[in-house]
Structure 1
Amino acid sequence: MQKKSYQKELSISNTQKRFGTTNVKKDVEKIQSWLTLFAMQNSNAGTATGIDGDFGPATEQAVINFQKAKGLPQNGIVDQNLFHVLTLPLQKAFENTILGNNLRELVVNTAKNHAENNPYELVIKNQSNTGPWVRAYMDGHEGSSWFWCMGFVQTIIDQAASIQGKNFKTLMPLSYSCDTIGTTGLQKKILTRYQTARNNPALIKPGDLFLLQKSTYDWYHTGIVIKVQGDVIETIEGNTNAGGSSNGNAVLNRIRNFKQSKIDFFSIESLV
């Protein structure tokens, strides 16, 4: 894989605990982030806590509650073994074995595997688009200005292509910009405009990227096409929400009507 920043999210430098002499603020923030992410999927767990890098009594209790939820000894201390349990969703998203008969199937199955592990952004220090999932997709970048839908898409393409020993950069440059990838598609003549797609849906295939068009040369959101049926596409996309926002907070499986929206399609066929 070309995009390996996720590996930094899977470890801490030393054991972290209340009054710990080896505490590192960045590591404590990572622990607090994962405790909060766990609470999002387990609302009664009592693990949501502030993300401030201070391993105080609230963080200690959140750790104890997480240990209780997982059936582990409840000492409020986070060593690498417990941090591994905290970060297991991200590890599974990036390192689970993905099966598929071809690159398109691998792309679809990789995207599904990520979605099943509930990637979600956090708000840290009043900044949206932050947290371990965002940093993993955005090569370490995070913050309100770092929209991460393209980072998610390129991670999926990279991960799937790497299974076949291919480099996704032969298809598109590493970028976080929908405009850059849209322009690349035009230059390579692998971008199907929405007018053409509406008239010939057979041109849209699973594994391709969709690009929501704001104007002729301006795109503002992207995701992976999972299925095409009738007038709609099924997608998996990051930085979205239930309403289909281009600056949402999660990876979601969505349905979009491509005959009622200006959706262009970037083909991965040349990489297949």
Structure 2
Amino acid sequence: MKKTNYLKELSLSTAVVKRGLANKKADVEKIQSWLCLQERQHRGIGTMTGIDGDYGTATEVAVKNYQKFLGLPADGIVTASLFTKLTSNLKNSFEGAAIKANLRDTISEVAHNHLKGFPFELVIKQQTNCGPWVRSYMGGNEGSDWLWCMGFVQAVLDQATSLHGRNFTEMMPISYSCDTVGTHGIQKNVLIRNERIRINPALAKKGDVLLVRKSQNDWIHTAIIVDVVGDTFITIEGNTNNDGSSNGDGVYKRVRNFRKSYLDVFSLNNWLV
């Protein structure tokens, strides 16, 4: 795998972090981020707190609440073992998918496995597109300017192709830009335009990459196609929301009508021959 930045999110620089120690700010921010993400997944457990790098009383209480949620002694101390529990969804998403009989099915499996991990972004220091999931998808980058939909798609492709002993960069360049991938698709004659798909929906297949077109050579969002049903693509996509935004807050499974929107498809067919 080329996208291994997620590994930096799975560990702390010290064995123990607690109130009263000279903790590293980066370690505390990681812990606070994961506490907030736990509350997003398990509403009401009481772990949402500020992300400021200060292990004060609020963070200590949030840690104790997480320990109570797990049925552990609530001492407010983050050990390596507890941090492993905090970050288990990320590890499982990047390492837990099983290889399938063919690459298209493996891509779908990997995308679904990420979906199960509840990837969300966080707002940190008034910046959207932040947090451990975003950094994992975006090579350590985060912040309002770092729209992460393509980072998510290429992380899925990276994992899936690696399971089959292949390299996704043979298919497309590493990029966080939908325009770069769309232009590459045109150059390699693998970008199927929406107008052709409306005539023959069978051209699009599971595992292909959807590109939401704004204008002829301008794409603003991307997703993994996991099924084609009637006039719709079933997708798994990052940095979106219920409105289908290209700057949402998480990874979701969506239904998109290709007869009502300009949805181009980066096809894997030539690469799989």
TM-score scaled by length of structure 1: 0.98
Aligned counterparts, 1:127-146, within 5 A: 127-146=127-146
Contact 1:5 1:136 in 2 (8 A): yes
Residue identity in the other structure for 2:182: G
Contact 2:178 2:222 in 1 (8 A): yes
Structure 1 residue 69 corresponds to structure 2 residue 69: yes
Aligned counterparts, 1:180-219, within 5 A: 180-219=180-219
> How far 1:270 sits from its partner (Å)?
3.3
Contact 2:231 2:259 in 1 (8 A): yes
> How far 1:269 sits from its partner (Å)?
2.3
Residue identity in the other structure for 2:166: K
Partner of 1:271: helix, strand, or coil? Answer: helix
Structure 1 residue 155 corresponds to structure 2 residue 147: no
How many residues of Structure 1 are paired with residues of Structure 2 in the alignment?
271
Aligned counterparts, 1:8-47, within 5 A: 8-14=8-14, 15-21=16-22, 23-47=23-47
Q: Could you list the runs of 4 or more consecutive aligned residues of structure 1 that deviate by over 2 angstroms after TM superposition?
A: 269-272
Contact 2:134 2:141 in 1 (8 A): yes
> How far 1:153 sits from its partner (Å)?
0.1
Cα distance in structure 2, aligned partners of 1:74 and 1:219: 49
Aligned match of 2:222: 222
Aligned counterparts, 1:34-113, within 5 A: 34-113=34-113
Contact 1:168 1:271 in 2 (8 A): no
Deviation track 1:43-94 (CA, whole Å, cap 9, x = no partner) reads 2101000000000000000000000000112110111111000000101101
> How far 1:97 sits from its partner (Å)?
3.6
Structure 1 residue 178 corresponds to structure 2 residue 178: yes
Aligned counterparts, 1:1-12, within 5 A: 1-12=1-12
Deviation track 1:188-225 (CA, whole Å, cap 9, x = no partner) reads 00000010011010100000000000100000000000
Cα distance in structure 1, aligned partners of 2:269 and 2:48: 43
> How far 1:42 sits from its partner (Å)?
1.4
Partner of 1:45: helix, strand, or coil? Answer: coil
Partner of 1:182: helix, strand, or coil? Answer: helix
Q: Structure 1, unaligned stretches of length 5 or more?
A: none
Contact 1:171 1:270 in 2 (8 A): no
Residue identity in the other structure for 2:241: N
Contact 1:232 1:256 in 2 (8 A): yes
CA RMSD between the two structures: 0.7
> How far 1:41 sits from its partner (Å)?
1.4
Residue identity in the other structure for 2:94: F
